[in-house]
Amino acid sequence: MGCKAVCFGLSCLLFAYYIYTPIPQNIEERWKVGILDAVVKIISLMGTLFESIGLMRCEEWFFTIMRLDVTKPISDENVTVLDTAFGDIPVRLYLPKRKLEKQRPAVIFLHGGAFVLGTCKLSAYDSTNRRTANKLGAVVVGADYRLAPQYQFPVSLEDSIFVVKFFLQDDILAKYRVDPTRICISGDSSGGVLATKVTELLQNDPEFKNKIKAQALIYPGLQLLDIFMPSHQENKHGPILSRDLAIKLSSLYLTKDKALPQAMRENQHMPRGSRHLFKFVNWSVLLPEKYKKNHVYKEPVLGKLDPSYPLLMDSRVSPLIANDSQLQNLPLTYILTCEHDILRDDGIIYVTRLRKVGVQVTHDHIEDGFHGALSFIMSPFHLRLGYRIQDKYISWLEENL
């Protein structure tokens, strides 16, 4: 009995050591963030275990947990909420009830989740979109594009483009009394990737040029070329989003082949012939000095992965590798980045590149922020940081849309 108790105690200690990640000192509500981070790591560990024994895939386990947080389309005294579809794509509409003499602005929101997880119906997204609609008097569209690995690249992007083009039809804008000159596309994390790529493609399409007034991106991950940027190294264990989990999920957008995430972990995934693209993501040139710190730039290793993935050279996967002529047509832009986020440097480099080509950019950098904080604004997992990010995002929309 004593031996079993000792073994159990040691197992608990090893488990605690495995899931424990030191929380940066400047983060608000550190104890609560520590608990949330441990919960995410436990869920991830269970997903890996379930996958190894053939019970279910890791992403299926995550999605099972997320389904517990899906909300119904419940209207309130300020906003009518409707679940409908644009073509075959499910959308949730938020329609302000208060009467306005003039036409309304509109926001099309694309949710995050590494192209694999999530829905616009999760409680935090529902809260953010509902509050946006009420605060701005805006029509808000939450889009549920199809997800990988069942639907891999470019399905998520194509669905997002379809939703935006559907909404931009004259009869749809008239139906919801939307001002066609006051439309924004926004998104968080991978939704930010979709938002900026949709915006860029439409701005460079003569039929839709200048129909999008603004884009708003919350901690977007904008490239898969270099997975060893300073932010990847500094925040590889999180909080919340670890480098390993991000690689595991994002690689499913392209393939189920486990060789790709394995190569990405070593930064040896890029195909031969891709070196000319590194200038667009070279952090040693494009990052401000304060974020370089003592890190030494090492170019990703080419040609190690067989078969190779030419899709990694596609700017629809990595918007940061779009050339300057493609970026210069982008509209008014809002980008929010977080210090303790593996994707921090993607957003900061994007700010640098957009400003260089003359795009008007507002950049909010949250020194005590981390990836996914916007998802923690509902009880019992609410964080003051999540509310601050939501406030900054909605305030910018209110001032600029």
Query: Out of 341, 346, 364, 368, which one is annotated catalytic?
Result: 341
Catalytic annotation on 284?
no
Q: Of the listed 44, 189, 250, 251, which one is catalytic?
A: 189
Distance of CA 171 to the CA centre of its chain: 31
At 343, list the tokens. 């994707």
Place of tokens 């982008």: 330
Cα angle 223, 195, 62 (rounded to 5 degrees) comes to 75
- Among candidate residues 246, 213, 210, 211, the one with its CA nearest the CA of residue 227: 246
Bridge-based pairing of strands 214-218 and 332-340 is: parallel
**Residue of 190, 226, 371, 375 marked active site:** 371
Half-sphere exposure of 265 (CA within 13 A, CB side): 10
- 76 a catalytic residue: no
- Using CA atoms in the order 193, 197, 200, 205, what is the torsion angle rounded to 10 degrees? -160
Using CA atoms, how far residue 294 sits from 22, 111, 233, in Å, is 21, 34, 11
Asked if 341 is an active-site residue, the reply is yes
Q: Are 239 and 383 in contact (CB under 8 A)?
A: no
What span, in angstroms and rounded, lies between the C-alpha atoms of 279 and 322? 11
**What is the token pair recorded at 365?**
């950098």
| Calpha distance 261→259 (Å, rounded) | 6
What distance in Å separates the CA atoms of residue 295 and residue 385, rounded to the nearest whole number? 28
At residue 392, the 3 state secondary structure works out as helix
Helix, strand, coil tally for the chain in percent (to 5) = 45, 15, 40
- Mind telling me the catalytic residues? 189, 341, 371
